[in-house]
Structure 1
Amino acid sequence: MNKQELELKSMILQATLLSNLEFLKQVMPTIYEVFLNYQPSGTGVAIDDGGNVNLFNNGQFVYSESPHDLAKKQVNVFLDNPVYSSYDIKHANDESISFKHEALLKSIYNVRNAETGGKIPKPTNEKRLDFVCFLGGGLGYQIVELVNRKNVLNIFLFEPNLDCFYALLHCVELKPLSDKCISQGGTFNITVGGDEHKVVNDISKLLFEQGHFNLSLIYFFKHYDSDTISKIMGAIKEFGHRWHGGWGFFEDEIIGISHTLSNLNSKFPVLKKANSFKNILKKSDVFLVANGPSLDSAIEFLKSNQDNVIIISCGTALKALLINNIKPDIHVEMERTAGLSNYVKAVERTEGITIKLSEINIVALNTVYDGILKRFKAAHLLTKVNDAGGHLIRRLDKKMKYAYPMYSNPTVTNTGLAVATELGFEKLYLVGADFGFVSQNYHHSKHSIYFDNDFQHKEVVDENMQTNMVVKGNFRDEILTTNIFDSSKSAVELLLQNKPRVKVFNTSDGALIKYTKPKRIDDVKINNKLSNKQEKVAALLKEASSREQLFESNVNAYVADVRSRLKSFLEVLLELTPPSFVTREELASAFSAQNKMLLKMQREDEIVFILVQGTLKYFHTYIMASSYYYSDLNKRAEFINACLDSLFEHVNDIFIEFTEYYDKPAKV
């Protein structure tokens, strides 16, 4: 290459950099600020002996062949053998299905598998790739190559190395790539630097904004190998399930409203904000007891020390404690279906238990069935956020008197921790909060209902515990876990991250939990005496809760107003879908429009959003994911249209159920 050609290439590189900086200034100002006056320290762009733009690092060129040729080869490999994740659902046995929501999702599964054989053909044969994660940018030529050969709707680019991304800014123009995505209704996102957790969180944000139906199938294009990129793939495999956890669904929210109204009518008080009362017990040793297998090794300690510590039992840990003559000071429940009463009644009829439920205080989420709460000594409610019933309490709470803690689900351990911290306790010990198990045959305390000979759901529980998922252990290298346990552990960590004044010791032989200190139960020493414990706990719960504002006559009027707004919203929402679809791309456009309307509704009318968002997310994602199983495009179109007809009928049916049964006892 002569001097003139070299100067021309250098000018083009500089012009591309300036163009990209202007683009970043307009749409990604944070990244723009980083690279406006950036000086690379280890890696830079240079012209190699073959006249190719190349990366130069530690005295040598990174690419041993033309980066353009390498990009074409990588795209060929990707299209021929793509790496991707696809969304699917683990369906319950027909006998265990209680909701129309579950039944319809399973019917989609049955039809899909019957018509396709239950396998996805090579998804890169699709005309358009809807979500591609480029892990490692290099010089960016592979991105341009793929976009030239396939329509790509959403692009997520992660480059861990700042020097390398600065080199990319000299080589490919980002604005045309972004414009092409946006013109199709998609988005173009860049993350530079950070670790695997940032990548997982940034993808989560993208899914929220663009619609969770994009989870249906995500492609991963790895440009080069590095420790960071390997950790990202590991984190996606380990934590990716959190992208689609806890959506809820319409029928569930109806139960939440029904139970909330029943609980308010039963005059159960609601926990107030922590700064509105004084907890004279806040320095006490509080043991939050969950039903993990390691609870069994703590039974003797709890029995010996129960007079001088406060014990908060969570869900099915109750029987394990009572059968060992350990009386919790506060019991906690969170499951909303009336079927939970079967677990509670099983405790009452267990031989050998002498402590009565009527002797025990209970704190439960507002969604818990009142027939359960009435069996206990004194019942108190904790408001669940992101819940239609919880939103009802918040709407009545004109004085902002009540507590609205985040991270109170997905399991009762999360609720128990939220209760303990909202009551103002500052020193907590986690017992049986394993969030996993060492052996799949020993997944809960053997003193609990799960190991009763007459437990009816033994096979279902055992099946749910089948897993290959592992996480770092609290006292051992690793333990087995499940998606739900891992999501629950994550919620514990997020709650404790926001409660730095709360000191938490983890005595459980389970998963390692951030923001807790591992401490074996045998090493715990209780030195303080706790006198008049029952009276003090009862006084605390009384002072920490209230019924003020919660019995106003406008409750029914408010629900009627919600019903009217919901009806109008659903009518407009469903009009966004045409009478029939021919292509999957048309379906994606309709789902995208509905998602934008959902996001708008979340800002304007949260309770309407809460009622329908989960149902729409589940069906959007599952219908889209299932469409990939069809290589015959005519059959695909028939399947999509049949699914949507069933979905619209389902939504209409559940809306009628809401209008007629929101204030009636729950059906499940």
Structure 2
Amino acid sequence: MDTIEQLLKQAETQHKIIELNMMFSKNMEFFREALPNIYEQFKDYQPTDIKIVIQEDGSLDLANINIDNKLVYGCDPVRFAEETVAGFLANPLAQRLNPDETDVLNMDIESHTPNINKIIRDLKAQNTDHSRVPLDSRTEFVFMLGVGLGYQITELLKHTDIQHLVIAETNLDIFFASLHTLDWQGLNDKFSARYKTLNLILGQTPDMFIHMVSHHAKQIGVFNLAKPYVFTHLSSQELTSATIKFLQNVPIIAGALGYFDDEKVGLTHSINNFKAKIPFMKNHGFLSKKFVTKPVFLIANGPSLDHAKDFIAENRDKAILVSCGSSLSSLFKLGIKPDFHVELERTHPIKEWIDVTTTQEFRDGITLLAVNTVHPDLPKLFNTTGMALKYNDLGGTFIEKYISDDEFSVTLGACNPTVSNAGLSFCAALGFTNIYIFGIDLGFPEGGKHHSAHSFHYDIKDEDIDSFQLAMPEDDIDFKLPANFGGNVISNPLFLRSKLSLESILKDCKEINCYNTCNGVLIERATPTKVTEIDTSTWKPFNKKEFTQKLYKEYFSNKHLLKLPNDSEIVKLFQPAIEALEKAHAVFDKDITSFEEGISMLIKNETITQNFVDAKETTTLGRLIKGSSDSFSLMLALCLNANNKKNGVPAFNSAKESYKKYLRAAQHAIKNNLLENDYSAFNIEQKLKK
């Protein structure tokens, strides 16, 4: 017979089970209305690895079903939540942005860069203390990894008013457990106020976490990422990886915003390239399933090119050679002429570089492949040019409307941020399926070279090297990525973006067999292959001139380019952008006296810009002002977060004056020189060593 104590214990357990089931039913009703996909996924869910258990003392825990019911918490989860939250409040983990200035090519005409550089200089002059400081009573953004039983969420919200909370959970069993312990409707209600958000990410990979957080940040306003906090609840390999990726990707998200002058130049160049009737890409090999099996050498200017130069020279008649960016000058020095040359950047110095570091005789017979934003003088250096529309680009979106519906126009995806990305994207669009990459290092061994030894970069005088914005080994010294042949290489956020972009193409175009010969970063779906391991025994020389000409005619045409409006009509189309900039200027007319007033201004600024982007009649124009609006709002938010919020108020008031100067300069640029080509130059010939 059971004792009274045992009967009471059984009753308590039974009561606990009833409580858990009642909470589950309540949550299911909530999700049935709020997120039906979660309701459908978990209404009949059965855990396979981790289940909720009731301990003898009445506390709950999670147990590993397949590991002898090993406990996840191993203690009272409520007490665990209180202790971990207390530790986080006292010493929180936050990603701190430390932006660098961007070189100004032409101080007289650039609107964005001179003014944002002023804010960056002022931020650095503050000598902000980067030690961890206790969490404040208001927190803008928290990325929580691991939901557990949810007690830490309610505990954290007792101490700080979180404006935007993202909760990511890789393990569906654990989320299922939380449906029995956490009042999800009550939690959602805490974020129902305007300008507050709760975002739930379930069962995704760390890479997808970052993609979804990036998308969410752009929806709520990138300024909220000025000081994002990371709270890791239960550790696991997946969550640790997600934490690292998040911290690495915040600077990448912030650095990929774009800005006014860049978009304006791209628009101008796109329009003038269109007027020149340059043939545009009309087909995509992977959409039409027209595959080309001949080997392709995709060549960039990284130091690994030096190890491959003899192999490339020996096999140049058996493969299609595609040079990317500055590798053209290295190949010129080596006496190796590519069949195609790819360019991505929009500025005039690209034309200047090629003109000075190669000869017309060398360029004759090379087909230029470029996106619509390149400088209109660049195609004049080559006998033949083929263009493709650049994805997510104002200029490409604008001129696409003037390509007849009778002609399919190709928009190149994943062609940023480096010219190597454009190179692989063009190769995929042309249907190539056997691609060998050389010199796409995207990282350097410590103390290693940043480009091929044959590059003209090393002919530039030391005092001029910074003006070219070269990625050097010593930059971002602590930013390391897995290397192609084992170990690590020093890299930077730009190169990580490039790596992810390359991987996205290879993932989408599964027919591509890619071989990475470089000593740089590991690229997923690109097989690490030493140059000495490439079997060329079945490769045969072929008439490459005839082959490339036929391929060009098949993929490029200007027969269906329609007539553009005249210049005054185009400028008139952009009048709404001037009006949106004026509205933003009015928001910042008075100084703030508190942190909250600064955030309110940033929200108003974001609302004006986003309304402009979302409106059907101005969507095409949105990119012209969106990037700079995001960049400046992020800088202003950084000022608010300087040292402490009291110091942030005067920093914000000073910084917003630079934003107002940008807004006036951008308005002037649209009115007076919207369609003028950019001729800012580096005077490269003078900078080369004699």
In structure 2, the partner of 1:316 is 326
Q: Which stretch of structure 1 is more off in the superposition, 9-18 or 57-66?
A: 57-66
Q: Secondary structure at the match of 1:331?
A: strand
In structure 2, the partner of 1:264 is 274
In structure 2, the partner of 1:70 is 80
In structure 2, the partner of 1:44 is 51
The structural deviation recorded for 1:2 is 5.5
The structural deviation recorded for 1:294 is 0.9
Q: Does 1:362 align with 2:372?
A: no
1:188 to 176, 190, 198: 198
1:178 to 185, 188, 192: 188
In structure 2, the partner of 1:15 is 22
Q: Secondary structure at the match of 2:423?
A: helix
In structure 2, the partner of 1:532 is 543
Q: Does 1:225 align with 2:235?
A: yes
The structural deviation recorded for 1:559 is 2.0
Residue deviations 1:360-413 (CA, integer Å, cap 9, x gap): 321222211122221222222222122221122212123152211111111111
Counterparts of 1:307 and 1:54, CA distance in 2: 67
Counterparts of 1:277 and 1:141, CA distance in 2: 49
Counterparts of 1:64 and 1:528, CA distance in 2: 62
Counterparts of 2:529 and 2:211, CA distance in 1: 30
Do 1:470 and 1:478's aligned partners in 2 also have CA atoms closer than 8 Å? yes
Do 2:205 and 2:238's aligned partners in 1 also have CA atoms closer than 8 Å? yes
In structure 2, the partner of 1:550 is 561
Do 1:573 and 1:594's aligned partners in 2 also have CA atoms closer than 8 Å? yes
1:623 counterpart letter in structure 2: L
The structural deviation recorded for 1:473 is 2.2
In structure 2, the partner of 1:108 is 119
Q: Does 1:560 align with 2:568?
A: no
In structure 1, the partner of 2:427 is 420
Residue deviations 1:427-464 (CA, integer Å, cap 9, x gap): 22111122222244312111011222547643553657
Counterparts of 1:238 and 1:363, CA distance in 2: 32
Counterparts of 1:148 and 1:217, CA distance in 2: 20
Do 2:285 and 2:428's aligned partners in 1 also have CA atoms closer than 8 Å? no
Do 2:450 and 2:472's aligned partners in 1 also have CA atoms closer than 8 Å? no
Alignment of 1:221-260 (within 5 A): 221-260=231-270
Counterparts of 1:551 and 1:160, CA distance in 2: 50
1:536 counterpart letter in structure 2: F
Residue deviations 1:290-334 (CA, integer Å, cap 9, x gap): 111111111112212222321111111011111111111111111
The structural deviation recorded for 1:69 is 2.6
Counterparts of 2:127 and 2:330, CA distance in 1: 45
Q: Does 1:302 align with 2:312?
A: yes
Q: Percent identity?
A: 26
Q: 1:60 to 1:49 in 2, by over 3 A?
A: farther
2:674 to 651, 662, 667: 662
Q: Could you state the TM-score of these two structures normalised by the residue count of structure 1?
A: 0.91
In structure 1, the partner of 2:95 is 85
2:42 counterpart letter in structure 1: F
Counterparts of 1:503 and 1:64, CA distance in 2: 48
In structure 2, the partner of 1:495 is 505
Q: Could you state the TM-score of these two structures normalised by the residue count of structure 2?
A: 0.88
In structure 2, the partner of 1:623 is 636
Q: Secondary structure at the match of 2:228?
A: strand
Q: 1:455 to 1:416 in 2, by over 3 A?
A: farther
Alignment of 1:327-346 (within 5 A): 327-346=337-356
In structure 2, the partner of 1:25 is 32
Counterparts of 1:397 and 1:413, CA distance in 2: 27
Counterparts of 1:54 and 1:462, CA distance in 2: 50
1:244 counterpart letter in structure 2: A
Q: 1:323 to 1:602 in 2, by over 3 A?
A: same
Q: Which stretch of structure 1 is more off in the superposition, 152-161 or 545-554?
A: 545-554
1:665 counterpart letter in structure 2: N
Do 1:290 and 1:317's aligned partners in 2 also have CA atoms closer than 8 Å? yes
Counterparts of 2:194 and 2:86, CA distance in 1: 24
In structure 1, the partner of 2:652 is 640
Q: 1:516 to 1:447 in 2, by over 3 A?
A: same
Counterparts of 2:209 and 2:60, CA distance in 1: 28
In structure 1, the partner of 2:387 is 381
Matched residues, number: 662
1:663 counterpart letter in structure 2: L
1:392 to 393, 398, 402: 398
Q: Secondary structure at the match of 1:177?
A: helix
Which ranges of structure 1 fall in alignment gaps of 5 or more residues? Answer: none
In structure 2, the partner of 1:435 is 442
Do 2:286 and 2:429's aligned partners in 1 also have CA atoms closer than 8 Å? no
Q: 1:457 to 1:278 in 2, by over 3 A?
A: farther
Q: 1:440 to 1:257 in 2, by over 3 A?
A: farther
Counterparts of 1:93 and 1:253, CA distance in 2: 17
Q: 1:247 to 1:62 in 2, by over 3 A?
A: closer
Q: Secondary structure at the match of 1:236?
A: helix
Do 2:32 and 2:39's aligned partners in 1 also have CA atoms closer than 8 Å? yes
The structural deviation recorded for 1:212 is 1.6
Q: Which stretch of structure 1 is more off in the superposition, 189-198 or 485-494?
A: 189-198
Counterparts of 1:186 and 1:392, CA distance in 2: 34
Q: 1:137 to 1:344 in 2, by over 3 A?
A: same
The structural deviation recorded for 1:281 is 9.3
The structural deviation recorded for 1:154 is 1.1
Counterparts of 1:240 and 1:631, CA distance in 2: 21
Residue deviations 1:561-584 (CA, integer Å, cap 9, x gap): 431232343345556668443433
In structure 2, the partner of 1:523 is 533
Do 1:288 and 1:314's aligned partners in 2 also have CA atoms closer than 8 Å? yes
Which ranges of structure 2 fall in alignment gaps of 5 or more residues? Answer: 1-7, 681-690
Q: Secondary structure at the match of 1:336?
A: coil
Q: Secondary structure at the match of 1:155?
A: strand
In structure 2, the partner of 1:651 is 663
